[in-house]
């Protein structure tokens, strides 16, 4: 009987998988949190109370007639 000669393993080295760890693309730029002066103009009519506006409207109507 022929001696059981183990088959030579094929030359298949396991090269390290090409998975380099590049620096993750997560730059930390200064957060876009600018503090511009809040756009809060004080127009008279916009912030005027409804009463004041109502009086103006009535006043205009009364003035017309």
Number of Cβ within 10 Å of residue 62's Cβ equals: 8
Residue-wise pLDDT tens digits, 8-29: 777 777 777 777 777 777 777 7
Per the model's pLDDT, the better-predicted residue between 48 and 35 turns out to be 35
Query: What is the reported pLDDT for 13?
Result: 76
């Amino acid at each position: 009987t022929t001696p059981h000669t183990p088959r030579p393993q094929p030359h298949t080295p396991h090269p390290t998988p090409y998975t380099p760890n590049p620096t993750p693309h997560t730059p930390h730029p200064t957060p876009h949190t600018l503090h511009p002066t809040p756009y809060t103009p004080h127009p008279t009519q916009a912030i005027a109370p409804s009463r004041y506006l109502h009086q103006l409207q009535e006043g205009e109507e009364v003035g017309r007639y």
